[in-house]
Structure 1
Amino acid sequence: MTHDYSSSANWPIAAAMLPFAASHDAGADVWLDHLAQVVFEGLDCVDITDSWVRPGDLDQAALTDLGATIAQVGLRPVAISAIRRSVIDPVDGKVNLAYSHRTLDAAAALGVPVVSFGLHRPLLPDQKKVQWFWTEPGAADEQDAATWALATARLRELGEHAATLGIDVSLEMYEDTLIGTVDGALRLVESIGLDNVGLNPDLGNMYRLHRDVEDFLDASARCAPVANYWHVKSYSRDEDRARGLITAVPAPMESGSLDYRSAITTAISLGFAAPFCVEHYGGDGLSVAARNAEYVRRMIAVALGEATAAVRERTVNP
C-alpha cells in the first residue's frame, strides 16, 4: 500500500482502536459496528490496535473476515500497533517475539504497511487500580549491555522478516524502556541498522508523567528524521515547582500543552512522510480522536504551505 504525502487532503491519519473494548473473539458483526463508528466520525484510515483485535492470533478465516470488514466500511488499514508485548520481557519475551512474527504475517495478509512494536510491558496491579495508569510506576527495562544486545537482535530479526514482506517496523517510544528517551531511541534504531526500522515518537507517553520530561519540541525534531509512524495525543500539563507538584490529564491536541503546530511543521520540514495515528484516553476517546485528526490535517496543510497558498490565491483572485 502506497500513500500520497504531497497534500494534506491525502495524508493518512488513522484512528486508533483504543476506545473500543477488547473484541478479539467477537466476530465480524461486532467489528463492523466498531469500524462503522470510526467512519461515521469522519476518519478514513485505521490502526488495528491489538488491545481491540490481535491479527496475529486470528485463524485464516477470521483474518479474512477482518480484512473484508475493514474494506466493507471503506477504511484503509495503515498500521497494526502491537502494544505491551515486549520482545525483551524477562518472562514472556520469547512468546512475544513469536507473536510479533505472526503479527507481521497478518499485516502482510491484510495489506498493512506498518507495524508498531514497543518495549512496554503489561500494566502492573497498582496501575490498574487508578484512574490514569501513568500516575503509578510501571515495569522498567534494565539498561545493561546484555539487555541492549537482546533488544537489538530480536528487533532486527523482526525488521528482517518485515523487509521480506515489504513492511516497515516502527518502534514506539515509552517511558522507562530502552526507547523511553530520545537518546535511547536513536541508539536502538542505529544499532538495528535496517532501513525499514524507524521510530514511532509517541512523546505523549512521556509528557503525561508526573515528573521531569524532555523538551517536547526538541525531542520531536530529533526523532523526525528516523520516524516512520507517529502516534499523537496531548495532555494538559501543569508544573508547580515551588510545591514540587506536576500533573497531567488528557486533552484534545489543539487545547493541550504540547505544541503540535510547531512539532508537525518542523518534522515535515525534516523529511517526515509517514502516517499519523490519533489517540485519546478517557471519556469519549473516539470523538476526541476524530477532532484530533481534523486538527492534524490542518497542521499538515500549514506545514506544506497550503494555508499560505490559499490566502495568496484569494488575494490574487478575490
Structure 2
Amino acid sequence: MTYTGKRTSANWPIAAAMLPFPDSQDADEYTWRKQLAQVRFEGFTAVDLTDNWVRVGDLSRERLALLKGLLKEYGLAPSAISAIRRSVIDPVGWEDNLEYSHRVIDAAAFLGSEIVSVGLHRPLLGAQAHALWFWTQPGPVDSRDPDNWHRAVTRLRELGEHAVSLGLLLSLEMYEDTLLGTADSAVRLVTDIGMSGVGLNPDLGNLYRLHRPIEDFLVSVEKCMPYANYWHMKSYSRDVNAEGHVTTVPAPMAFGTANYREAIQIAIDAGFDGPMCVENYGGDGLTVSAENMRYIRRMLAVALNEI
C-alpha cells in the first residue's frame, strides 16, 4: 500500500484530519455521510481517520465495511489513521493500548490505508481538559529511565512488525514531554527501533505551541525530516514578551510564525515523500485546514521547482 509513484504538488496526498468533528463512533450512516461530504466539499481527496472521530479499531466488520464504502463514494482515500493518546508505555493502560493499536493496524489494512500513526502521549489531565487550550497546562511526563526506553522500543517495534506484515508503515507522532518530545530523542527512538517501515511523524506544531522555551522550529525540521514518513502539519502565532512570557494561539500555516515555506523545502531536500495531514484547533478547523492544504500545494510547487 506504500506509494511508489512520482509526487507532484498536484497529486501529493494531503489529508484532512477529522479533529474538527465530534466523537461519532456510534453515529448513524447519515451523520458519517454529512461529515465526509463536508471534507470532500472543501477540496480534500484524502483523510486521516483520527480516532477522536471514529475508533476504527473498535468498529465491527460491518461498520468498517460501511465506512470503507462511504470513503470510496465520496472520493476520500484513507491515507492514514491516527491513534491518539494510546501510549504503549502508559503506566496504567499500556496493555489495553497495545491491543487497541494492533486492532487499528488490522482495520487500517482493511480500509486500504497507507500509514498508521501512533504516539506516546497520554489522556489529558483534569486541568488540561478544562483549559481553553490544553497545551497551556502541564500534562503527563514520560520517565526517561533505560527500562522505560526499552519498553518503548520493544512495543513500538512489535507494532511496526505487524504494520509491515500487512503492507503498512508505522509513524511515530512527536509530542511534548514524551520520549518523542524533542527532535534528538525522537530520532534516537526511531533509530533504536531500527525498522525501515517505522518512521517519524514530526508534528512539530505540538512543540511549537508550548508556553515555554522550545528548540528552533527549522532546526527540528532539519533533524527529523530524514526519518519522517508522515507529517501532521499545523501552525500557531507564537509571541514572547520582554519578560520571556510566551503565548501561542492557532493560526493558518500561511500566517503563523512557524516558517513552513522553508520547512517544506527542507523536507523535500531531505527526500521526504510521505503523506501530509493538516490540522487546526478551535473555530472552523475544517476551513482553516482546507486553506492550509492549498498553501501547502503552493509551497510544494516551489520546493519541487514546478514554477
TM bin (shorter chain): over 0.9
> Distance between the aligned counterparts of 1:100 and 1:177, measured in 2?
18
Contact 1:32 1:70 (C-alpha < 8 Å) held by counterparts: no
Q: CA deviation at 1:2?
A: 4.8
TM-score normalised by L of structure 1: 0.95
Matching residue's letter, 1:206: L
> Distance between the aligned counterparts of 1:29 and 1:144, measured in 2?
48
Q: CA deviation at 1:29?
A: 1.7
> Distance between the aligned counterparts of 1:297 and 1:11, measured in 2?
8
Tell me, yes or no, if structure 1 residue 145 matches structure 2 residue 146.
yes
**Corresponding position of 1:155:** 156
Contact 2:2 2:168 (C-alpha < 8 Å) held by counterparts: no
Change (3 A) 1:199 1:2: closer
> Distance between the aligned counterparts of 1:28 and 1:63, measured in 2?
12
Q: Which has the larger radius of gyration?
A: 1
| Deviations 1:148-188, CA, capped at 9 Å, x for gaps | 00000000000001111010000000000001001110111
Residues 232-311 of structure 1: pairs in structure 2 closer than 5 A:
232-240=233-241, 242-307=242-307
Q: CA deviation at 1:243?
A: 1.6
Q: CA deviation at 1:222?
A: 1.1
**Over 2 Å off, 4+ runs:** 1-6
Q: CA deviation at 1:249?
A: 0.3
Residues 84-123 of structure 1: pairs in structure 2 closer than 5 A:
84-123=85-124
Contact 1:79 1:112 (C-alpha < 8 Å) held by counterparts: yes
CA RMSD of aligned residues (A): 0.8
Matching residue's letter, 1:300: L
**Corresponding position of 1:54:** 55
Q: CA deviation at 1:30?
A: 1.0
Matching residue's letter, 1:281: Y
Percentage of matched positions with identical amino acids? 60
Contact 2:184 2:223 (C-alpha < 8 Å) held by counterparts: no
Matching residue's letter, 1:246: V
TM-score normalised by L of structure 2: 0.98
Contact 2:114 2:168 (C-alpha < 8 Å) held by counterparts: yes
- SS of corresponding position for 2:232: strand
- SS of corresponding position for 2:263: helix
Matching residue's letter, 1:106: A
Matching residue's letter, 2:250: P
